[in-house]
Each structure stands twice: as structure tokens, then as C-alpha cells.
Amino acid sequence: MKKQVLDKTFVPFLGKAEISNAIARMAEKINADYDGKKPLFIAILNGSFMFASDLFKKIEIPAEISFIKLASYKGTKSTGSVITAIGLETDVFERDVIIVEDIVDTGKTLSEFLPQLIHQQPRSLKVCALLHKKEATRFPIVIDYMGFEIPNLFVVGYGLDYNGFGRNIDEIMQIAE
């Protein structure tokens, strides 16, 4: 079924069962890889709230989760826009950190944020992303746990928005061409 979000029309792309199967597969791998460890999940708001919630429910090892927002502000002329993390209250020093992102598009966000985290010396740092638009890559990011490689088309639903709307759709929909 088509759905209208503001002025754009979206068509079904990834259904509830597909999403939950992918998340189960990712969680199973994380549970095995981090056996005996106590990882700290850092979910990047707003888009990842549904994904992080469903993923975290399937994590069976002792784990913490913290939610951050990345704010972009204009830096100097030479630095362009600068990303800062808001709300990271848990110390990442010597922690096994797993970043939880809804979608990696150009890779710009993580390519700026990951070095800032590395600066705080986590023991390990991995990236878990539900979606990856491989063709859109401008800043290559290693995604350690990935749900789906998707075409370079705009998607909404399952936490992802179009101008703030569409996050409440319980599946992932693609813009109608």
C-alpha cells in the first residue's frame, strides 16, 4: 500500500518480517562476538530509536545503551560544519563500543564522529547500521554489522523521517519514482 508523507509518495520496500529477521541475525552475531564482554551500545538519535530498541531487546549478554544526538554547527571557514555529540554521559574509555545507526548514506556523519570517539580511547569500536546506501558513499565507513544494502533512494519509516514525518510507519518505504 502506498503512503503519503507530506508532499511525497512512498511504496513498500522492507516489511516488518524482513526487518525483524535482519535484526535477529545481527543480534545473534553480536551476542556471539561479545561473549564474555560488556559492550556499550551508543545509538544515534533520532532515526535509530526503533532499530536500537528492537536490536537491544535481542541482546543477551550484559550490555549498556546510551543515546546521543549529533549536532552539526558551522565551524570556521576551513573546518566547514562540525559535528558534536550531545548526551554521551557514559565514559567510553576502555569500553567495547558499538555504534547503532539507522542508515549510513554518504558516510559523512560517522566519518566525523568516529574519530572523536576514538580520541576517548574505547577498547574497541564497531558500527552496526540497519541500512547502507553503498552507491552514495563519499566517506567510506566500515560497517561491522549491517542489515541491508539498499539502492540510493530516499526511504522513510521504522524511525527514519522525511522532514520530521514518517518515523511512525512500522516498515521501511521507498520514495515512489
Residues with a catalytic annotation lie at 105
100 binds ligand IMP (CB under 6 A): no
For ligand IMP, the binding residue among 160, 169, 172, 173 (CB under 6 A) is 160
109 binds ligand IMP (CB under 6 A): yes
Q: Pull the grid cell for residue 126.
A: 564497531
Please give the Cα distance from 39 to 92 (Å, whole number): 10
157 binds ligand IMP (CB under 6 A): no
What is the number of H-type helices and E-type strands within the chain?
3, 10
Output 33 or 112, the one with its CB closest to ligand IMP: 112
Cβ 5 to ligand IMP, closest distance in Å?
A: 11
Cβ 92 to ligand IMP, closest distance in Å?
A: 20
Residues sharing a CB contact under 8 Å with residue 70, sequence separation 6 or more, in sequence order: 44, 83, 84, 85, 86, 109, 113
Output 59 or 104, the one with its CB closest to ligand IMP: 104
Which residue type sits at 166?
Answer: G
Instruction: Kindly indicate which of the ranges 2-10, 30-38, 86-94, 156-164 contains the residues binding ligand IMP, using the contact rule CB under 6 A.
Output: 156-164
Cβ 148 to ligand IMP, closest distance in Å?
A: 12
Output 107 or 147, the one with its CB closest to ligand IMP: 107
Q: 137: exposed, middle or buried (C-beta count within 10 Å: 0-12, 13-18, 19+)?
A: middle
Helix 16-33 vs helix 49-57: crossing angle, to nearest 10 = 60
Cβ 162 to ligand IMP, closest distance in Å?
A: 7
DSSP code, position 87: -
CA–chain centroid gap for 63, Å, is: 18
96-104 and 81-86: which strand pairing? unpaired
Output 23 or 103, the one with its CB closest to ligand IMP: 103
Site for ligand IMP in 22-61 (CB under 6 A): 47
Residues in touch with ligand IMP (CB under 6 A): 47, 101-109, 154-156, 160-161
